Each structure stands twice: as C-alpha cells, then as structure tokens.
Amino acid sequence: MRRTLLALCLALIPLTLSAQEEAQPSDAVEPEAAMTLETLGQIITALDPEAKTNGAAWQMQVAGTTVFIVTDEGADRMRAMTPIVNSDEVTPEEMTRLMQANFDSALDARYAIAQGMLWSTFIHPLSPLEKDQFISGLGQAVNLVKTYGSLYSGGAMQFGGGDSNAIQRKLIDDLLKKGEEI
C-alpha cells in the first residue's frame, strides 16, 4: 500500500511542475523584499498598535487572543504562537483530532505541544515571509485557538484527502436528518 501511494505521489510531481510552469503569467509580479525584523515590527504594530516588543519578539492581541511572535535572524526563522490548554488536558481522542486537523484543516498553522502546553503555531522562514502570508498565518493560528474543541480549522479552506471534511459533514448530515422529522 505504501509503495502504491509513494509511486502515485512521485508520478504526479512532473505533472504538478509542468502545470505550474504553464500557469506562470508573462508579466509576473515582483516578489517582496526580504522580510526584516523592522518590517515585521511595522506589520505587527499596524495590526496591534499596543503590541509589546524587545526587538526580536513581540506580544500582540489578535481578535482578543494573545499571540507571541519570536524570531531568530541567524536561523532565518519566525514563530507566531498562542497557548490553548495544558497538554495534560488533551484526551487521546482530541490528540487524534488535532493530528487530523494538522493534515487537512489547520492549513499553514499547526497544533503543537511544548513545555506542557498545547499551542497553535505558525512557523515560517523569516526572510522569504511576505506580508500577506504573515497576516494570513496569524489569522489561521488564532482560528485554531477559537475552533479548538469544535472545527479545529485554520478558517480558510480544507486540503482534500483528510478526515476533517467527513467529520464536519457528519454534523450537517445529522442536522439534516433531524430536520427531516419536521
């Protein structure tokens, strides 16, 4: 089974690459300049004028949720994270659901466990990070916090092939079934 899946994935790589090459417009948009701590700070301050910083880390509020942003210029990394619950409160069933969400509905944000806490995170290399990617990643991370225990969703869309769509569809089907009795 694994060899079949691997063969299928490898067979699709050339198709994906050639489709991307064909889809490139002739007047491609110029890429943004490399993200710097200064630019990141400007974006964060525009989103939350009350954000606190030490120059390489920030604490801000997004939709009533505290978000910490930590950077490491030397490693070219950025991490936005927000705590959800103590990890010892996560049941085995919830852990399975978290991993399913990481596959298909969390999108660019992820659930993670560190230092005895369940976190919602958005992790990205710093220099290639674009403004809209950062803002979207922040929104997705906050959405994971807000949908923990229900949809477990980054909020934008779902990547196909996972379990989340069927789980979420079950709720709709159950409601429709109940509605048939009316």
* pLDDT of 82 over the 80 cut: yes
Indicate the average pLDDT of the chain.
Answer: 80
Closest CA to 143 of 108, 93, 178, 168: 108
Residue carrying structure tokens 């990643």: 137
Q: Using CA of residue 84, residue 89, residue 90, residue 94, what is the dihedral sign?
A: negative
* pLDDT of 33 over the 70 cut: yes
Q: Mean pLDDT over residues 19-43, rounded?
A: 75
Domain boundaries, the chain: 29-147
CATH number, span 29-147? 3.30.1460.10
* pLDDT of 80 over the 50 cut: yes
Closest CA to 88 of 121, 115, 122: 115
